[in-house]
Every structure is written in structure tokens, then in C-alpha cells.
Structure 1
Amino acid sequence: MKSTEGIIPKPIIRKRKFNGNPINNTRRVQRVLDLITFLNEFKTIKEIKDCLEIHEKSVQRYLNLLVQLGFNVEVKFGKYYSYRITNTKSFFKVA
């Protein structure tokens, strides 16, 4: 009989299948992901608002959400406030 001691079995990898009810409002999640990718450079509230097609107050809410999630949102002061995220690489590591 062969000994299997010390042999690590190979993990089984498969794609996850959708197995539930559809989420009705995925637009909110999509906006947050779009905002994260959009803020790699400094952008004003107006630029963000136009890109995401939302109200200025909603932009402020999304920026606060990103801070709560642990993103470093930098603010540049000038004629208008500009915002960018500096630590996205620590959240999205590409293998």
C-alpha cells in the first residue's frame, strides 16, 4: 500500500455560478468601482459628477464611503477642490 502522508492534494478550482436572486440595484456598486478607477488623477466634484451622472451631494457621499473603506482620498486645494485616491494598488493586487 502506498503512503499518502506528506502529499498535499491539488486544490479544485472552478468558476462560481450565479445561484440566487438577482440584485435589483447594482448601479450603486458599479458607480463606486467606476469612481475608484476614475480617481487615479485629481478630479473636481463637477468632473466626477459628470462622469458618474449623479448629483454633487452624492459625490460627497461616495467620497466619504471610500474613506470609510480605507482608501486614501487626497484633496488638492485651489480654485476648486480636486480629489484622487493614492492607495488603490494595496486593495487591488494583480497576480
Structure 2
Amino acid sequence: MCLGIPGEVIEVLDDKPDLAKVDVSGVRRNINIGLLGEDRPVPGEWILIHVGFALSKIDEQEAQDALAFLEGIGQAYADEIEALKESRIE
């Protein structure tokens, strides 16, 4: 499964215009924004990221909804693994 992760643009790097510093759930990384072409994001805007590349700009509500969904999947997956660890098939 491929996931797009929302991130908030912190700054576009002056010396590397295809890169932006982005905050993804508290982790800051440089992300390639070159695929967005002329629709470059500015600080404060949200982007959808996959394997280090911005795929599209999204609004803040869509970003928050996606983050909540992903957090929900993460917890559901963790709960399922714990249940599996505790189960015994004999």
C-alpha cells in the first residue's frame, strides 16, 4: 500500500528552489517540491508527500483529516499485532 503523508511547509530553500523544509508530525525534513511545477507551496501551506516528493498541495482540513486517519490505522495495526502476540493456536 502506498501512503501519502501530509506535511506543513516551513520554508522553501533559497539555494535549492526544488526543496522545502516540511514538518511531518513534528519531524522536519527536506522534501522535493519540483513535481508541483509553478504551483509552488509557501510557508504555512500543506502538501501531500510520498517517498520524499510533494505530490500535491492540500488544505489544512484535508491534512488534519488524513493525519487522524493515519493515526487511527497505526493504532488499529498496533492493537492487531498485540492481539496476535497474545493468541495461541494449538
TM-score band, normalised by shorter chain: under 0.3
Give the structure with the higher percent strand. 2
Structure ID, larger Rg: 1
Give the structure with the higher percent helix. 1
TM superposition score normalised by structure 2: 0.21
